[in-house]
Amino acid sequence: MTTQLSSLFTQVERAFEPVRQVLKPVLSEPTLLVVWGVVVLFSLGGLLWDLRQRNQALPSTMKGVWSLVVLYSGPFGLAIYWFAGRTQITRDSLWRRGLRSTAHCYSGCGAGEVVGILLAQAILGLAVGWVAAITFGFAYTFGYALTVGPLLQEGVVFWEAIKDALYSETPSITVMEVVAISTDLLLASQAHVGDVLFWASLAFSLSLGFLAAFPVNVALVYAGVKEGMKNPAEMGDASPSNGHGDGRATTD
């Protein structure tokens, strides 16, 4: 399996060599990483202020989801929260539901990808095939867990929760991680944890994964495969959540 992954990666790497030649010098620039880090911190601060001052009614799980989204993608993630995740949105829509569903998936899968890359590539120094396989495994595990956990808290039996997660989340996770992990390895498969390229490529690939998974989630919500996250505007007058459940409810 890992040999096949390595062979496939080599072929893809050759095909995308012109793109790599353009992006690697840019993502290896220390100033870019420093500026990006500052922007992310300001974005995260803005999010946390808004959650505390104006959106305490959001479930604690979704507060955590949005915090991870902004941590991964900075102002891009904050813009998504502002458009689709606040109780102040004036009207819900399929696109907003798709963004919230993608954000929910992204928060768990992104954490799994970061853990997988750090473990397999940075710590263990494994070959590309093993890095890809282990990172996919962590991404699926974290992504499913973020769906199964809240369902169990709501009283859904374990095997039903697993079935629901596999059915509703697999297409989104697969597309997201194929794009994200492939991009990261194409750009930084030889980078070390102390290299600017290692971290810049990871941040860049995570955001690309979100963009790739968004239309998939819109289609899944539209088809009824995923219910989508609850309209936050309906929580505007509610008391703060105790953290149980993830808001997975229809908005219709």
Q: What percent of the chain has pLDDT over 90?
A: 67
**Tens of pLDDT, residues 166-181:** 988 999 999 999 999 9
| Mean pLDDT of the 71-87 span | 96
Rg (CA), the chain: 18
How far apart (Å, rounded) are the C-alpha atoms in residues 138 and 61?
20
Name the pTM for this structure: 0.86
> Contact, 16 vs 187, CB < 8 A?
no
**Tens of pLDDT, residues 53-75:** 999 999 888 999 999 999 999 99
> Contact, 205 vs 177, CB < 8 A?
no
- Rounded to the nearest 10°, the torsion over CA 198, 204, 206, 209 is -130
**Tens of pLDDT, residues 144-200:** 998 888 888 888 888 998 998 898 899 999 999 999 999 999 999 889 999 999 999
How far apart (Å, rounded) are the C-alpha atoms in residues 38 and 85?
23
Q: What secondary structure does DSSP assign to 160-189, as a single string?
A: HHHHHHHHHHHHHHHHHHHHHHHHHHHHHT
